[in-house]
Chain A
Amino acid sequence: MTAIDVSSDAVLERHGVTREEFAKIVSMLGRQPTLTELGIFSVMWSEHCSYKSSRVHLKTLPTTGPRVLQGPGENAGAVDIGDGLAAVFKIESHNHPSFIEPYQGAATGVGGIIRDIFTMGARPIALLNSLRFGSLDNPLVRRNMAGVVAGIGGYGNSIGIPTVGGEIAFDESYTGNPLVNVFCLGISKADEIIKGVASGVGNAVFYVGSKTGRDGIHGATMASAEFDEKSAEKRPAVQVGDPFMEKLLLEACLEVMKTDALVGLQDMGAAGLTCSTCEMGARGGAGVEIDVSLVPQRETGMTPYEIMLSESQERMLLVAKQGREAEVQAIFEKWDLHAVRIGTVTADGLMRVKERGVVVAEIPNTALTDEAPLYRRPYSEPAYLREAQQLSLAELGTPAPAVEVFQRLLASPTVASKRWVYRQYDHVVRTNTMVLPGMGAGVVRIKDTARALALSVDCNGRFVYLDPFVGAQLAVAEASRNVACAGGLPIGATNCLNFGNPQKPDIMWQFVRAVEGIGAACRALDIPITGGNVSLYNETDGRGVLPTPVLGVVGLIEDASRVVRRLFQTTGDVVLLLGESACELGGSEYLKVAHGLVRGVPPRLDLAREAALQRVLVSGAAQGLFKSAHDCAEGGVAITLAECCFSGTPGVEADVPPVAADAGFGDIATLFGESASRAVISVAAGREQEALELARREGVPALVVGRVGGGRVRLSVGGRCVVDESVETAERVWDGAIAARFERQQTVA
């Protein structure tokens, strides 16, 4: 075998390691690294694993609170939900693989986040996902989306965890860089959260799960580099998921956790065996010694380099207490799994990798984790911004009639029903789903308690593009408002930050300002961030995605019988609009659909007002006062009112006061403007005064705008009827828009 010069430019470039980073490695080790060691550093110090461009900024987020049981730094976060239970949750991305191989990329993304949850000792009970694609007019986008949806369903359905909600939006910037963010929630006993820690000198280190193959080697590095035309060659870096194996692992691990034979557990995700070994060691302040020749392999002739960097799925690393090894192995055998001892916990703080007894890599665990490079990348406000924030309605010409705009918005994929998608997901397995998908926040009950949890994932990338600081706050506001509409008090959040290339000051500025915005909103709304994920380099050929910081919020509903749903119920119920409306079309769906523009400034957000609105929503639900609630988002109040009618409802007659707007845009701005901190609620006839009083006490503007009934969606502005459609007609447009795009053309799965 020819000796490879690890310090050569070609080798360093292949590994995504800069010359400066290499020098740091040499100084940490006191010598040149072996090729295996270089491989290990390259994955642990990759953006995806080390967060080197983002850590500095993420540290500014609020992560503590009376309910927080586990903040960032572990496989998932956890908050106390009462009755001795914890909600364990996180959101993660699998963007790059989902472009390269949509089905498996999305499937393994689901598999990865599920493992992160059960590795903490929590049984996963719900999934949500936040997806972004290019335009559905593009057949490659349709094919990509079909594959992603099939992959999410294929994995989640098979392992038996319901997908209860999510969001999907479309914009050309995502064409070459779809976003696939998956959120998972699990429940565990609050005092039985398992950590990913290796400790106790002499304790056995076990490997359990699928055999290791050559999948995904350099996957973590790939996720840290942009795509270009050569990306097609990177195809082998996507793994094939096995949900059946993961189901067995899940059940076996949960059984093992019921004994107290476990010291620590971690799944092998990005950077595989390397990552789990050194992270567990670093957290436990211990060393871990393993011999790769003991690792079960499904291909022949694998080198230590390959074994350490493989990203084969469905594998776990665990540390058992001394003397309890046989007990642990027996539980795995019951599930036809083999837990193989591959190493031992030591006292020297090193990750020592051997092959048949010969040391091939020896690195201090902290060098790979805590001491990974930390970059303060330069950032500056992009040149495009000031200009893009200008919006003159007068320059848009005469707006189309409101009814026409209404129909076009209902048919716009970002607004339209996502039923074509979520009917491919099992959303009822485990018999906890109280609110079905397509109805706002997903709500699952917690058996053996009186409680339920409301879950939502949200982000409006256009708003973030036009003002990252405000846009990111709006994402926090929207996600927490959604759970509040269901009656859930927001108690914790996780974020998935999807951005372009952080080495560009423009993009880094978007990132920094977005993180600042998230922090500001979370502090004002008292929602701690318990963990999350950063996905950078979402660019193809230099063109980046809209900056998309997705927020996943968990809301606690103390009395599950008080869950509030979206749909209007009974003829005669009174409809109210909470919050203040203004002429705010910047970054709106209207502007995009009718004029092809992403311009203006995002809606103003007053966080105190938002907090007050959420208090009203939670209170109205808890009192059993609100019969329905739905927040205003893309498409404005007209779309909100329509969605409250879809389906099987008596319809609505509403009259909203006009907002002042230039150039004849009064109706448009009133019906389709996207002012923040607003919600449409309904109450039983005769109880509207109670609702108005509740809002008044919290300082939330509130107005009766109409009544449920009439069989139509009849919307007036200042007494003048501008939209009058039968519920069925409007619903057909909304329900069929996405399905029509797929069923018209054939897409081969």
Chain B
Amino acid sequence: MRVRVFVTLKPSVFDPQGTTVAEALHTLGFGSVDGVRQGKYFELDIAASSADEARQVATDAADKLLANPVIESYRVEVEAAGGAR
């Protein structure tokens, strides 16, 4: 099963990369983009018998390794059965 984990900096943490990207977009004419936060995206291929099991595995992985709880938060999405993206 494919599980997606999105890791982003907590709102209180300054994100210079996101700021730089936003400024660059503005110079390219994307005036309607008010703000950008940059994060990380992981795709985990997990052998599990149910979506809940896969979600738990991914959550544990995020807690333990993928996200640093001091500065990052995350969310987990299990891909719909059949591999639809």
Please determine if A and B sit in direct contact within the complex, based on CB atoms under 8 angstroms apart. yes
A748 CA / B18 CA spacing, docked (Å): 11
Q: Does residue B23 face the partner (Cβ distance < 8 Å to A)?
A: yes
Please measure, in the bound complex, the distance between the C-alpha atom of A169 and the C-alpha atom of B27, giving whole angstroms: 28
B80 within 8 A of A: no
- Considering the complex, give the chain A residue whose CB is closest to the CB of B25: A748
5 tightest CB-CB pairs across the interface, nearest first? A748-B24, A746-B23, A746-B24, A746-B27, A748-B21
> Which A residues are in CB contact (< 8 Å) with B23?
746
Cβ distance B37 to chain A, nearest Cβ, rounded Å: 16
* Residue in chain B with minimal CB distance to A747: B24
Q: Which residues of B contact A749 (CB under 8 A)?
A: 20
Residue of A nearest to B24 (CB): A748
**What is the chain A residue whose CB lies nearest that of B28?**
A748
Q: Among residues 18 to 48 in chain B, which have CB atoms less than 8 Å away from a CB atom of chain A?
A: 20-21, 23-24, 27
Q: How far is the CA of A707 from the CA of B66 in the complex (A)?
A: 61
B24: chain A residues at CB < 8 Å are 746-748
The contact string, 1 if C-beta is below 8 Å from chain B, for chain A 11-38, is 0000000000000000000000000000
How many Å lie between the Cα of A749 and that of B38 in the bound state?
A: 14
Residues of A within 8 A of B20 (CB): 746, 748-749
On chain B, the residues within 8 Å of A747 by CB distance are 24
Per the bound structure, the CA–CA distance linking A745 and B27 in Å amounts to 9
Supplied contacts A745-B27, A746-B20, A748-B20, 7 more A-B pairs, CB within 8 Å: A746-B23, A746-B24, A746-B27, A747-B24, A748-B21, A748-B24, A749-B20
Main secondary structure of the interface of B (DSSP, over half): helix
Tally of contact residues, B, Cβ under 8 A:
5
Distance of A636 from chain B, by nearest CB (Å): 39
CB distance from A300 to the nearest CB of B (A): 15
**Could you tell me the distance between the alpha carbons of A746 and B27 in the complex, rounded to whole angstroms?**
8
Cα distance A309–B40 when bound, in Å?
33
Contacts of A746 in B (CB 8 A): 20, 23-24, 27
B3 to chain A, nearest CB (A): 22
A748 to B27, CA, bound (A): 11
- A745, A746, A747: which has the most chain B beta carbons within 10 Å? A746
A748 vs B19: C-alpha distance when bound (angstroms): 11
B contacts, CB < 8 Å to A: 20-21, 23-24, 27
Chain B nearest CB: distance from A147 CB in Å?
A: 14
Distance in angstroms between the alpha carbons of A749 and B20 in the assembled complex: 9
A477 to B77, CA, bound (A): 64
Q: A747 to B27: give the CA distance in the assembly, Å.
A: 10
| Cβ distance A164 to chain B, nearest Cβ, rounded Å | 29
A749 to B17, CA, bound (A): 10
Interface residues of A in 696-749 (CB under 8 A from B): 745-749
Give the residues in chain B near A745, CB-CB below 8 Å. 27
CA distance A747 to B20 in the complex (A): 8
Measured CB to CB, the nearest residue on chain B to A745 is B27
Q: How far is the CA of A749 from the CA of B23 in the complex (A)?
A: 12
B33 to chain A, nearest CB (A): 13
User: Cα distance A365–B46 when bound, in Å?
Assistant: 47
| B21: chain A residues within 8 A (beta carbon) | 748
Which residues from A are CB-within-8-Å of B27? 745-746
The complex places the Cα of A316 from the Cα of B20 at a distance, in Å, of 39
Complex CA gap A228/B45 in Å reads 41
> Who on chain A is nearest to B27 by CB?
A746
Chain B minimum-CB-distance residue to A748 = B24
What's the minimum C-beta distance from B73 to chain A, rounded to whole angstroms? Answer: 25
CA distance A746 to B20 in the complex (A): 8
In the assembled complex, the CB of A277 is this many whole angstroms from the nearest CB of chain B, namely 35
A46 to B20, CA, bound (A): 42
Closest to B26 in A: A746
- For residue A379, give the distance in angstroms from its CB to the closest CB of chain B: 46
Per the bound structure, the CA–CA distance linking A68 and B21 in Å amounts to: 51
Q: Which residue on chain A has the smallest CB distance to residue B19?
A: A746
A-B contact pairs, 10 of them (CB 8 A): A745-B27, A746-B20, A746-B23, A746-B24, A746-B27, A747-B24, A748-B20, A748-B21, A748-B24, A749-B20
Residue in A747, A748, A749 with the greatest tally of chain B CB atoms within 10 Å: A748
Chain A residue at minimum C-beta to C-beta distance from B17:
A749
* In the bound complex, CA of A7 to CA of B21 (Å): 50
- Interchain CA distance A87-B23 in the complex, whole Å: 47
Find the B residue at minimum CB distance from A139: B27
CB distance from A524 to the nearest CB of B (A): 51
- Give the distance in Å from the alpha carbon of A747 to the alpha carbon of B23 in the complex: 9
With both chains docked as a complex, state the minimum distance between the C-beta of B23 and any C-beta of chain A, in angstroms. Answer: 5
Please report the C-alpha to C-alpha distance between residue A748 and residue B23 in the assembled complex, in whole angstroms.
9
Rounded to whole Å, the gap between the CB of A749 and the closest CB of chain B is: 8
Question: Looking across the interface, which residue of chain A has its beta carbon closest to that of B21?
Answer: A748
Provide the bound-state CA to CA distance between A749 and B18, in Å.
12
A437-470 residues with Cβ-Cβ distance < 8 A to B are none
Interface residues of A in 41-88 (CB under 8 A from B): none
CA distance A745 to B20 in the complex (A): 11
CA of A749 to CA of B19 in the docked complex: distance in angstroms?
Answer: 13
